[in-house]
């Protein structure tokens, strides 16, 4: 590896490590000429503790009647527990979810996608087993708990075989779902 390539790799790694750990959660009302008044939420970057509160704050600041509520995902995953909390809030408040053409939903972002009343995937959905820095057991919720992925997927009417598929893929690998798989898991 050349010195320039090595320096570029170190720079990219440093930039990634110094990036903010919170997802970028933006909530704003939009007036569309045909669809009417839309409450739009965009969730991007990395899901981390505190993002549920940011989402809740944005929703409270934009209370009112909307013709449609829509979440746009371009997210690289992150905290499973926070994604489940956010997903429940999105479901309870009646949001549809979309992964736009230039978007990606990977890792724990899948829990946000599963929460949508209606789901549209035009971009990419990638699966892998969650990465827990202190070992797989450090953040695994007990079966039946409020933050159990199994209980959550049941609640969202998503086949549990999705969880089996996620857990079969190493955290350092990613597998993009096909259109048939998205339909099979009720994600599109």
Q: What is the pLDDT along the chain (188 residues), one digit of tens a residue?
A: 443 333 333 233 333 333 444 569 999 999 999 989 999 999 998 999 999 999 999 999 999 899 999 999 999 999 999 999 999 999 999 999 999 999 999 999 999 999 999 999 999 999 998 876 554 433 444 444 567 899 999 999 999 999 999 999 998 899 999 999 999 999 99
Q: Which domain holds residue 105?
A: 23-184
45: closest CA among 71, 27, 19?
19
pLDDT in the model for residue 131: 76
pLDDT value at residue 118: 97
Is residue 79 situated within a structural domain? yes
Our count of domains for the chain comes to 1
d(CA 127, CA 101): 18
Q: Are strands 36-47 and 23-32 parallel, antiparallel or unpaired?
A: antiparallel
109 within some domain: yes
Domain of 137: which CATH number?
3.90.226.10
Please report which helix (H) or strand (E) contains residue 91, including its range: helix 80-92
In a domain, 158, yes or no: yes
As a whole number of Å, the CA-based R_g of the chain is: 17
Q: What is the pTM of this model?
A: 0.81
- The predicted structure's pLDDT at residue 8: 32
In a domain, 18, yes or no: no
Do the domain assignments include residue 17?
A: no
- Quote the pLDDT of residue 12: 33
164 belongs to a structural domain? yes
What are the CA-CA distances from residue 117 to residues 8, 29, 128, 145 (Å)? 43, 19, 24, 23
Q: Would residue 149 count as lying in a domain?
A: yes
Instruction: Write out the H or E segment, with its range, that includes residue 176.
Output: strand 175-176
pLDDT at 153: 95
Q: Is 13 among the domain residues?
A: no
pLDDT of residue 145: 59
pLDDT of residue 4: 35
Is the CB of residue 80 less than 8 Å from the CB of residue 147? yes
């Amino acid at each position: 590896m050349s010195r320039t390539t090595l320096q570029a790799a170190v720079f990219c790694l440093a930039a990634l490590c110094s990036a903010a750990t919170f997802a970028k959660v933006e909530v704003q009302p939009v007036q569309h000429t045909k669809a009417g008044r839309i409450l739009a939420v965009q969730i991007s970057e990395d899901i981390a503790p505190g993002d549920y509160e940011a989402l809740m704050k944005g929703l409270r600041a934009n209370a009112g009647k909307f013709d449609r509520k829509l979440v746009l995902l371009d997210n690289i995953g992150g905290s499973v527990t926070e994604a489940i909390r956010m997903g429940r809030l999105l479901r309870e408040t009646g949001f549809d979810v979309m992964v736009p053409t230039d978007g990606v939903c990977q890792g724990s972002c899948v829990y946000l996608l599963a929460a949508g009343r209606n789901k549209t995937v035009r971009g990419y959905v990638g699966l892998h087993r969650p990465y827990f820095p202190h070992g797989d057991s450090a953040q695994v919720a007990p079966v039946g708990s409020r933050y159990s992925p199994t209980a959550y997927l049941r609640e969202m009417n998503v086949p549990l075989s999705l969880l089996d598929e996620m857990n079969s893929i190493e955290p350092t690998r990613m597998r993009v779902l096909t259109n048939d798989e998205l339909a099979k898991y009720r994600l599109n």
